[in-house]
Amino acid sequence: MTALGMLCCAATLLAQAPTPPLPRIFVVGDSTAKNGERRGWGDSLAGYFDPAKVTVVNRARGGRSSRTFQSEGLWDQVLAELRPGDLVLLQFGHNDAGPLDAGRARGSLPGVGEETQETVHTYGSYMRKYIADAKAKGATPIVLSPTVRNIWKDGKVERRGPGSFGEWAAEVAQAARVAFVDLTTIVADRYDKMGAEKVREFFPLDHTHTSEAGADFNAAAVVSGLKRLPNTPFTAFLSAKGLLPEPANPNLPSLFLIGDSTVRNGRGDGRNGQWGWGEPIAAYFDSAKINVVNRALGGLSSRTYLTLFYWDKVLAMLKPGDVVIMQFGHNDSGPVNDTSRARGTLKGIGEETVEIDNLLTKKREVVHTYGWYLRQFIAGARANGATPIVCSLVPRKLWKDGELVREDYANWAAEVARTEQAAFIDLNAIVARRYEELGPETVSTLFADERTHTTLAGAELNAASVIAGLKSLDPNSLAPFFSEKGK
């Protein structure tokens, strides 16, 4: 065979080689992770990971304890699927405090020792078996403490649950030298900040099982814990949603940015040459004095930022002295109801509503005006002791008679800020004037697509415009936190 023929043959074999299977994240637990037709956090978890990089497999089963998940053969089914490189999230405890031999007979003995009673072992013994079996299959087990129940005392949410299962989970993980996520503490800290009245909305049926919003909230907390693990393997698998940051130093005040892809595009890494202004603006602030937390996400409108629970997660992190800059409008003009994104808002700032059967979510929904949603963000920020700042949307690359087209959403944002007595940055006008000075030819080089998403240079121009707007405010609450670049 000639050299050319050998090369062609090798190329053919490479082309025919099977694609390696994706790694998988298995969820093993009870109804707080999977609750029949209702949602547990394991159902919401997939949205935080990129399906092109990892597959989330929720094998949790309602009503099971660490004991019955094994005795009913459910763990054997998971083991049969496990491959080297898979990850297994283990969370039990809510049902382990039940009776040993009455009712559902699902209780385990308390503690982590080797005591047995008629072949019933301790919670810790069952957890050790899960860990050992997963390791034997070449998978990586991660232990999670239980979710938090909606039980309050003296203004604080219960943390211990039906027993000491969180403490025992931590002890087992430490002894077995596997990663541990203290989900109980992460969620409880956030619940305490939200307060009992707001948290109650997450529990429509009882004090244990969450609504869709509550399940998503807990899933976000799981991801937060996974991202904190040393040498975590999870970061490489996260979706744009999963990569949304949290304050790097909780002891510092934070500047939260909320909005759409013109603030944070995709994963915030400039993929496809597209950047939002929320990434370069961080350089204008001193990271030793303030956290810049860009929680904007592409594709969202003011409506879907609220209804898809993104705002709830920001509220759970807000504290007195924080600042929230909000910029929406680009996606609010979309359809109010369709099977694609269903993200449009009613035009204007009034109290008009329309009730729909949402074709995307399959749920009944009351849709409000653009201004109504902005008012929710302003009120929520203030209720948590934070300062809201409204920004009009950055302009699109739309020219008419030599000038940039100004948009109604900019006027509506200004009017909401005025009536709510909130600080306002007319970013639309500031950037439009700058574009007009530069001219269409130069402005075209600042865009990575036809008219909306900017290059890094364009994002930097927009970020500098936000800073210029902040400096014009009286008072400018962010002035003490500027870096040398910001000054």
Catalytic residue of the set 206, 340, 401, 474: 206
Q: In whole angstroms, give the CA distance from residue 293 to residue 288.
A: 14
Residue 288 has what pLDDT?
Answer: 97
Q: Is 260 a catalytic residue?
A: no
Q: What is the residue type of 145?
A: S
Catalytic residue of the set 209, 330, 368, 453: 209
Instruction: Give me the residues paired with residue 366 across strands.
Output: 355
Residue 240 has what pLDDT?
Answer: 95
- DSSP state letter for 384: T
Residue 97 has what pLDDT?
Answer: 84
The full set of domain ranges for the chain reads 21-237, 254-481
pTM of the full structure = 0.89
Maximum C-alpha span of the chain: 86
Structure confidence at residue 113 as a pLDDT band (50, 70, 90)? low
pLDDT of 298 higher than 60: yes
- Span 307-339, pLDDT tens digits: 999 999 999 999 999 999 999 999 999 999 999
Q: What is the mean pLDDT of residues 244-256?
A: 96
Using CB atoms within 10 A of its CB, is residue 91 exposed (0-12), middle (13-18) or buried (19+)? buried
Q: What percent of the chain has pLDDT over 90?
A: 84
pLDDT of 106 higher than 80: no
pLDDT of 81 higher than 50: yes
Q: How far is C-alpha 475 from the geometric centre of its chain's CA atoms?
A: 32
Q: What is the residue type of 9?
A: C
Q: In whole angstroms, give the CA distance from residue 426 to residue 422.
A: 13
- Residue 350: count other Cβ atoms within 10 Å of its Cβ: 13
- Residue 401: count other Cβ atoms within 10 Å of its Cβ: 5
Alpha helices, DSSP H, located in 108-211: 123-136, 165-176, 183-194, 196-200
Residue 111 has what pLDDT?
Answer: 67
Structure confidence at residue 13 as a pLDDT band (50, 70, 90)? very low
Q: Is 207 a catalytic residue?
A: no
Q: Is 31 a catalytic residue?
A: yes
Query: 21-237: CATH homologous superfamily?
Result: SGNH hydrolase (3.40.50.1110)
| Topology (CATH level 3) of domain 254-481 | Rossmann fold (3.40.50)
Catalytic residue of the set 31, 224, 301, 302: 31
